[in-house]
Chains A and B, each alone.
Chain A
């Protein structure tokens, strides 16, 4: 072992070439709480990486505040090593991380260092150094969102469709299935597009390490880790790590987007990201604003989410879809950060705790959820089937509230309520079971045309399973046709109607 070390050292010394040159330097005058104040470095740039020479090792820092004669920087390494009086050098480089295909299936920290115990990441020749801070694509480089990104969740694909290149916020209280929803989306990508699934980047900000480990395990078990990258900034990591993680995840997604591939980045969650930025800003003595957040908190999230885009054909045609998550308290969407992110994104999926505890899972509030650009990307077949779904559910909710006080209800109202109850049952879905779009179309077609209205509500889920199994066994060609054409032609619709009739007759 020691022989190998000596040989390695000999090799390094033999190949060592060093050309010393003048470097700009400053001096640490204050350090604490992951922040250092440096005197000097007049020419330092904002977001530049600085190197602090300590007795033990060099520690990297990020220049954030450029004062008249002081630079406020965020320590990226072990802050215990840094002492007042240490020399700080400029590197003239913006913070970046190497990205290549080799990141797929790996868990990394925001600086690109592996955290999964599988050893160092050996990048391929195509690796690029991606800046964490990158400008968003210009208007001319973009194209409108028109290709769907199927989540495998019936209620979302039918009513709040997401397009590739869109920014769709997932918002809700704690513990009501926000992460489960995005995990389903990741898992569904291989089912929806087995040959070339979009690259999924999951950014965990300030989460428990046990939860991150569980997520990685879930992805592995569902064969989804091979096309995913996990950027982890766990609860135990410093605020600098929480702050940088979404930008690192976005940079990884951009690498694939710029190569003409599709990528999805999930920021779980931006509430904690805002907390980290607030902490850093207060330590840097920036003036606090509303809820003590700094004045540029909106810009922090808008510049991050603007990097999601569907690129034009000239720019490779790739896409980067952003699915930020925001955790709210007691259903209050009017707090500062939620309203900011709602206004930045192209729609939101609002999960409601009342629905969750009533057993409606995913606990999607149809009234408050919206997709502003996704309908243009919705699969034609789904558009035809689900066009009246939102209206039917809205009518059902209204009638349901009304009949609570009415003693006598007419037949037409009773029928509508029953249909609403059936649809609600059909839209329920357990986690980790995303459904292919063709099956969603078939089951929603049956439900919306009243085929299941005569059945008992408790049996609906069982009937759904039986119906889909029946379709797979006897009429796979119909499912294949919907999947292949992405449309529901008149001919296919007739065939589907016939199969539903046959199934109901056998029931």
Chain B
């Protein structure tokens, strides 16, 4: 069991969660609990953050949904948040984070694997790199 990686766990978990049609929330919790017991038994608790990221990625891919984290320096107003969601598409799981280091602008992180950076700090860094 030494070679079990986060990816393998994530594949197993996502397969378990997607098995069957219209499964109840209770059933999902049960499957998750069995999975967590297994991870605990294998003493692979330290892999859980990575398993979570990888599982979210797989589930989003399987269900055709994107998981997007919007980082902004200040909380986005309802109007701008709505506009942003509209321009990117409906098939998305959204999450918002505040990161004051961005100074201004936003940064989008898609499925924990792709990023587009419209922040001011990124632009400042690029200007200084060009000098």
The smallest beta-carbon distance between B105 and chain A, in angstroms, is: 10
Residues in B with CB closer than 8 Å to A42 are 113
B114 and A24 within 8 A (CB): yes
Chain A residues positioned under 8 Å from B8 (CB to CB): 68
Contact B126–A20 (Cβ < 8 Å): no
**Chain A residues with Cβ under 8 A from B129's Cβ?**
58
Query: Is B130 in contact with chain A by the CB < 8 A criterion?
Result: yes
CB B109 to nearest CB in A, in angstroms, measures: 7
| A25 and B114 contact, Cβ closer than 8 Å, known pairs A39-B53, A69-B5, A69-B7 | yes
Instruction: State the CA gap A42–B111 with chains docked (Å).
Output: 12
When distances are taken between beta carbons in the complex, the residues of chain B under 8 Å from A89 are: 115
**Chain B, residue nearest A9 (CB):** B131
Is B117 interfacial (CB 8 A cutoff)?
Answer: yes
Q: Does B116 contact A23, Cβ atoms closer than 8 Å? A: yes
Decide if B130 touches A22 in the complex (CB within 8 Å). Answer: no
Specify which of B109, B125, B127 is in contact with A25 (CB 8 Å cutoff). B109
Contacting pair A16 B130 (CB below 8 A): yes
Q: Is the CB of B110 within 8 A of A12?
A: no
Q: Are B127 and A9 in contact (CB under 8 A)?
A: yes
Interface of chain B: mostly helix, strand, loop or mixed:
helix
Tell me the bound Cα distance from A400 to B66 in angstroms. Answer: 84
For A, the interface residue count at a CB cutoff of 8 angstroms equals 27
Contact A16 B126, CB 8 Å, known A8-B131, A69-B5, A69-B50: yes
Are B50 and A39 in contact, CB atoms less than 8 angstroms apart?
yes
A98 at the interface (CB under 8 A from B): no
- The answer to whether B13 has its CB under 8 Å from any CB of chain A is no
The docked-state distance in angstroms from the alpha carbon of A216 to that of B5 is 51
| Interface mask (B75-91 → A, CB under 8 Å = 1, otherwise 0) | 00000000000000000
Cβ contact within 8 Å between B113 and A21:
no
Contact A12 B125 (CB under 8 A): no
A126 to chain B, nearest CB (A): 24
Say which residue of B6, B101, B118 sits within 8 Å of A20 (CB atoms): B118
Interface mask (A32-50 → B, CB under 8 Å = 1, otherwise 0): 0000000111100000000
